[in-house]
């Protein structure tokens, strides 16, 4: 099959196996070039391991520390006519490259919110690993079915409290235009907290503790985005921000509940990057394009692997990581500093369809977007016939 990108709005509906493998290899190379972690987790569970920040976490743990990794993801396998999702191909490539390097890895593909997948994970840990010393919680999902009630909740990306009028960039029409976003109803806020808040993170830790597979001094982190004034109305102070506040509550609760194990639970705030999750959020493609331009000009641009390698090297695994006033680890300090934000804001006030190419780095945004699905790598021959039937079993 010759595989070319099929883009529909903010998503690409297919993926390229060789391109995804190349992307995984680039992240592995980054970690190997930057050197081994000083503090090395041994057995790492990554919930949401196949793309974005979770994949970078798995790669850093495996190739930076030689850790055994067990990953959980929700990806579609290939059929005769359709490619798999990018996360499927990323996982296949990770497995191939980890086994070549002699590293243990297993991946469970299914709904992380369900009891069944938690149970399967526990059985795998008991059989293969004994105990887990690091748990990365990196899920981004539009819906969650509560495993006890069977009720399904949908997350919403809306402002809270008042209507918000702002600029946005329509990536399919290449135009900057005004958009009015209506505030969320209380039920929409509550449903978003059910999907993206801390409840499932807590359920994971509870199940792992009850099965006695958590090592003493175990560390866990869930990822958040805090941002600044430009993104607060649609992120930090919006429905998704309310869900992320619930992660702070959950982290405090986990630290209290598992003090006997000396477990440490942190929320880590990461910078905005192009991932499948962030490209679905209104305003983010425009914000990220302007932010890329500024941060590249200031030579402080970072992607997922730079952020996560930095997190693992400088903070998360230390006995006393530096924390903000709400006990969160902050990896977003460069993006959110006043100078960078002032430059992004100046561009934001001026940007329109005509000057978008000068003020923003949409080309860089789009390149990263294509790479999420394995497209746009200069080293990959996209004219070549390729078998989409790739697996990792």
> Quick check: 270 binds ligand NAD (CB under 6 A)?
yes
Max distance between CA atoms of the chain, in angstroms, equals 60
> Quick check: 318 binds ligand NAD (CB under 6 A)?
no
Cα(262)–Cα(269) distance, integer angstroms: 22
CB closest to ligand NAD, residue no: 52
- Is 89 an annotated catalytic residue? no
SS3 364: helix
DSSP of 289-346, one letter per residue?
A: HHHHHHHHHTT----HHHHHHHHIIIIITSSS----TTS-EES-HHHHSHHHHHHHHH
Closest CA to 136 of 227, 222, 59: 222
Closest CA to 64 of 308, 332, 339: 308
> From the CB of 157, what's the least distance to ligand NAD, in Å?
11
> Quick check: 54 binds ligand NAD (CB under 6 A)?
yes
> Quick check: 53 binds ligand NAD (CB under 6 A)?
yes
Q: Which of 137, 153, 235, 258 is catalytic?
A: 235
Cα(208)–Cα(202) distance, integer angstroms: 10
> From the CB of 153, what's the least distance to ligand NAD, in Å?
12
How many residues lie near ligand NAD (CB under 6 A)? 29
Which residues in 140-179 contact ligand NAD (CB under 6 A)?
140-141
Of the pair 102, 150, the CB lying nearest ligand NAD is at 150
Of the pair 75, 188, the CB lying nearest ligand NAD is at 75
> Quick check: 112 binds ligand NAD (CB under 6 A)?
yes
Which of these segments, 19-27, 45-53, 153-161, 354-362, binds ligand NAD (CB under 6 A)? 45-53
SS3 29: helix
Closest CA to 271 of 321, 222, 345, 330: 330
The site for ligand NAD (CB under 6 A) is made up of 48-54, 72-75, 87, 111-113, 138-141, 223-225, 270, 272-273, 275-278
| Catalytic site positions | 235
């Amino acid at each position: 099959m010759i595989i070319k990108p099929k883009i529909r709005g903010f998503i690409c509906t297919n993926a390229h196996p060789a391109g995804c493998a190349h992307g995984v290899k680039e992240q592995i190379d980054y970690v190997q070039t930057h050197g081994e972690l000083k503090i090395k987790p041994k057995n790492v569970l990554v919930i949401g391991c196949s793309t974005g920040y979770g994949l970078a976490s798995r790669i850093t743990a495996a190739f930076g520390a030689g850790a055994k990794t067990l990953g959980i993801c929700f990806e579609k396998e290939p059929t005769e006519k359709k490619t798999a999702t990018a996360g499927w191909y990323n996982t296949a490539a990770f497995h191939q490259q980890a086994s070549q390097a002699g590293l243990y890895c297993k991946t469970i593909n299914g709904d992380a919110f369900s009891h069944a997948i938690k149970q399967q994970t526990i059985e795998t840990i008991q059989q293969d690993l004994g105990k887990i010393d690091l748990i990365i919680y990196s899920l981004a999902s539009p819906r969650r079915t509560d495993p006890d009630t069977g009720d399904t909740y949908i997350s919403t990306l809306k402002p809270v409290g008042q209507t918000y009028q702002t600029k946005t960039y329509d990536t399919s029409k290449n135009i900057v235009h005004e958009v009015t976003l209506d505030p969320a109803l209380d039920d929409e806020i509550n449903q978003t907290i059910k999907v993206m808040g801390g409840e499932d993170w807590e359920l994971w830790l509870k199940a792992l503790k009850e099965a006695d597979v958590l090592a003493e001094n175990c560390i866990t982190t869930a990822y958040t985005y805090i941002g600044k004034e430009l993104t607060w109305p649609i992120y930090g102070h919006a429905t998704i921000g309310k869900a992320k506040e619930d992660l702070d509550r959950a982290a405090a609760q986990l630290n209290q509940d598992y003090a006997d194990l000396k477990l440490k639970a942190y929320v880590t705030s990461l910078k905005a990057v192009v991932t499948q999750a962030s490209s679905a959020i209104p305003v983010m493609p425009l914000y990220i394009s302007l932010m890329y331009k500024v941060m590249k000009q200031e030579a402080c641009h970072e992607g997922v692997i730079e952020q996560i390698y930095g997190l693992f090297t400088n903070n998360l695994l230390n006995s006393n990581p530096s924390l903000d006033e709400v006990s969160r680890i902050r990896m977003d300090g460069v993006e959110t500093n006043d100078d960078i934000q002032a430059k992004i804001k100046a561009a934001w006030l001026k940007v329109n369809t005509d000057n978008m190419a000068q003020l923003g780095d949409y080309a860089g945004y789009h390149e990263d977007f294509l790479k999420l699905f394995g497209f746009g790598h200069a080293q990959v021959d996209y004219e070549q016939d390729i078998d989409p039937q790739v697996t990792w079993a």
